[in-house]
Structure 1
């Protein structure tokens, strides 16, 4: 287990947004309530250019969170050493406030699937996921946060609930958690359980960051509701309600608005961040 220390500049208990280069000038001129930015690690693991130049400016004005999408923490094979080395290089020069990855897998042998795929919650899975987390934390020299997935199916072979699985990973590795309440709502709807019941069983004391975001609505072949984690629209009202429920239990926390597809203009994204700020204001007022 990593004896992790906090970064020099922790994420503020305020809204953040996923950074998009087209917002660079507007973000700096009129950030509104936004105090921190999230970037996807894989977009900044090159040798430099405009992405690095923009980050050198923005890291002086905002706290930065790095969110990985390619480590395949839940994959059965060994972690990609080159990918992990590139991630360490990025973390070392950027010195972000937070690093996170997904409880999912995206590789099979030498093949990379352009998706974050689910995994069964078994003793075997628990062992290799914990080993992968230990490896990442040892290489990076810092704690990582692990994000709960959006699920569209459940495995008959699972012997752990998702919340118990995450609790045990925290205990074994010392990792923190990224609570995505949009993913909670999606999974609860798709798999027919109560989202607030999920949160009541979740290891909330380990949460270092919260995500909200939009989802697409569809239906399956039987006509039952099917939600897709699209990150391409405004956050739905029941997800904001779920955020309020989580904050009431956790207390003030960094809240990120995710919007990765059909990216809107800056005022629209800033208005979503303002809604997150209102959730924090209500919590403090109460």
Structure 2
């Protein structure tokens, strides 16, 4: 398993100064220049901002996606399985109505099939998102392990587990996070994202934050499951802290990266033996 961290200028400098190390940078898909800069320090792979189930997949620039995938040798094009409440106004966010669940499944599968037609289903990976429950913009059905497993089974795509998304979903919906993760399609796991979660000034949980004790413990548990072959082994484990642009620059603290990336790297590498 390779170890990645979100590309940031702070991480780049720490690597140049030999204070941290990773195998690859995880880069967003919106800037060729950023990828070119990052690759002068470490190899990169691209995380794409595609949402399966939104009905927008047909409008994607596939020439650019294929170019970035081939250029960086990114093995998978990721999609986020989504079901926005605005697209299902007749249903409650928490509905378990079978007819609604079928609509969500069909919408996600329809978009994944478009992606598969462009790049091959063996190159498609689906990520779990966050549902916060009542008042949220994401329908609960799309984070249901049964639904996600059915989508993987029917399409043949692989699975990307985001532990922070699973944590936040579980806290908001009153689930046991380890039981929840264990029910996801982890036998098809090909990529793993790990980061900290913390409350903002309004008490709302957010991810891409420094790791806390609970975050480290959950990450360690997932890696043990991989080591014991209870979950499939992903090609990369990414620490999703730091980044570029207004949404991430304020949470790209050099001291956090300097302290937590080496611990993260060691934890992942130790779980491969």
Q: Residue 147 of structure 1 aligns with which residue?
A: 127
Shift of 1:243: 1.5
Q: 2:105 is matched with which residue?
A: 126
What TM-score do you get using the length of structure 1 for normalisation? 0.73
1:161 and 1:210, CA in 2 relative to 1: closer, same or farther beyond 3 A? closer
Q: 1:210 aligns with which of 189, 192, 204?
A: 192
Any idea what SS the aligned residue of 2:57 has? coil
1:199 is matched with 181
Q: Secondary structure at the match of 2:193?
A: strand
Query: Contact 1:100–1:146 at 8 Å: present in 2 too?
Result: yes
Could you tell me which residue of structure 2 aligns to residue 183 of structure 1?
Answer: 165
Residue number in structure 2 paired with 1:73: 52
Partner of 2:154: 172
1:130 CA displacement: 1.1
Shift of 1:168: 1.0
Query: How far is 1:228 from its partner?
Result: 2.1
The secondary structure found in structure 2 opposite 1:122 is: helix
Structure 2 CA distance for partners of 1:161 and 1:30, relative to 1, 3 Å: closer
**Cα deviation code 1:170-212 (max 9, x no counterpart):** 1111211111111111111111110011022122111111111
Report Cα offsets for 1:55-92 as digits up to 9, x if no partner.
5535xx42x332122x33121x3524343343223223
Q: Call closer, same or farther: CA 1:235–1:199 in 2, change over 3 Å.
A: same
Which residue is 2:115 aligned to?
Answer: 136
How many pairs align? Answer: 249
Deviation at 1:267, TM superposition (A): 5.1
2:230 is matched with none
1:269 match: 257
Of residues 16, 25, 49 in structure 2, which corresponds to 1:37?
A: 25
Q: Is the 8 A contact 1:27 1:266 kept in 2?
A: no
RMSD: 3.3
Is 2:197–2:215's contact at 8 Å kept on the other side of the alignment?
no
CA distance in 2, matches of 1:108, 1:57: 42
SS in 2 for 1:179: strand
Gaps of 5+ in 1: 1-12, 110-117, 221-225
Q: What is the SS of the residue equivalent to 2:191?
A: strand
Q: What TM-score do the two structures reach when normalised by structure 2?
A: 0.76
- C-alpha contact (below 8 Å) 1:211/1:255 kept by paired residues: yes
* Match 1:54 to one of 37, 41, 62: 37
| Whole-Å separation in 2 of the counterparts to 1:178 and 1:106 | 20
In the alignment, the residues of structure 1 paired with residue 82 and residue 57 of structure 2 have an alpha-carbon distance, to the nearest angstrom, of 13
Q: Which has the higher helix share?
A: 2
